[in-house]
Structure 1
Amino acid sequence: MAIQWLKRLVELASGKDEAKSTPAAAPSRTPVAVDMSIAAVETKSADPLFGVKKGGKEVAAKLFSAMSSEKGIHLESLLCALGAIAGYACQISVREEFVHQQGRLEKDVFIVVNSKQNGVSYFFGDLLNKPLAESKYSVWSLSSGASQKVGLQRLIDLHDIFRHVTDTLGQSSFGVPRIPAVHKAKELPISYVQYLWPQLFPLAQRYSQKPGDWPVLFGVAVQEILFASKGLIDPELALQIVMESAVPMSKIYLSDASSV
């Protein structure tokens, strides 16, 4: 894997190069897109999500800088990376709140599916669907809302993505976005999770210690890039890349990631 940009990200995430971090301009019910410009940061006193929004903006800026080169940036790869991280954040937030903090058993928090094909465990359930696709500030709501603001006319079929993810558990096609070859990211979503999560998660924690905020923060980062990409990529394609990356990555746990 080409990880030159990852080394750059490590520098940015550690605060060594702040000056260059600003970028250029299936669920239980049918999800409803929310036209929510959450990334518009207001004053700290008036906005309870001030820190989450600020953190999302910083994540977007740092990842944009890290993945940029003298040739520019591969926008599809950036969207895939952020979608993958946002999806993974959904599971980590549920795992932290209900398993680690509340002491509940993993099997009582998630529907755990153990694949006989590759020995990997995959995680499902209503608690996971909420930050991923059902809540007001879910990854789906924030991403689809931003896509509509930049010109999306027709929502993608999110249920189809969930079905595809379920149908491909344990197979080589799991977690491979169904995107035209000319628009494919340079890496698979699982690679972005493996390499980027350890760098970006501590940054998110600096802005909020509340597990429920983490998917929102990364959803804001997705919004930032979707807004910045207006006119550069078809919004339907951009949303497809984000969700084709987010949904499967919400189902894996990093300790098993090398086997997926």
Structure 2
Amino acid sequence: MMRYRFDHFVLDTRTQSLSYQGRMLNCDERILNLLLLLIEHAPEYVDKQTLLDTLWPDTVVSDWSISRLISDTRKLLKSAGADFPVIQTLHGRGYRLSAEVLSILKSESVSQPVSTPAAPAKRIHRLWPVALIIILLLALTSRLFLATDATDSLNLAEPREIKARVLWVDDHPENNLAEREYLQRQGMAVYTAANTSDALMLLAMYHYDVVISDMGRQDEPLAGMKLVDQMRRSGNETPYLLYTIVPSEAQQQLVHKHGAQGVAVDQDELYELLAQYIPLSPQR
């Protein structure tokens, strides 16, 4: 059993936990396994196939699941207090720990405890029925609120069986109505924002698997480029696609330089790019 420390973070394999300044962070097992995998391979990178085989054994998932997990992990670490990059993206290859983490990473062995005191366990057992009732009441209240709030521009009472969430940023959403309807028929939840500020607010509150944006909005001819710049500076690595009219060769190069994953000029190109990040059927 090992305990790994970097800055004020501690990853403990004995307790299967991640903490910051002694405070346990609420994260699922896959995030813990991702960090452990990156630590064990450091300073080398971990390729996408190894991530898929290790983190999703006996499960068929696409690369967008990796992007989502990396994004969720970065958000968790940043919200906890990390003011430095933890995971570095090597485009086309995989991911590795950043140089900042490698310079401060320390490890130590920890022993497995012989026994666990019985008294706290009994106390938790007695309190569990009360806690369960409280959780159920809160869940019921939240469910009623979300289902009846028809004025919310983001429909949180979405179907449970959605395959992915897409945020579409365009000040003229009527121009891509057919594309959005197609994605919805494919089982995607598609949400819209008319400007950069609304998009950033939604990205800060909810998880999306892909962001699609136009290039120019209102008086800003490069609004789409500015949005991806702000996302990447904040540590948000959600796949980002530009859907524009006629991109030049220089614009194509600029898109990738600023951290976007691609640019499409028609439906076929857009669906081809999207299929790399969300599970789209080839039939349209």
TM-score by length of 1: 0.27
Which one has the bigger helix percentage?
Answer: 1
Query: Greater CA radius of gyration, 1 or 2?
Result: 2
TM-score by length of 2: 0.26
Greater relative contact order (CA < 8 Å, ≥ 6 in sequence): 1
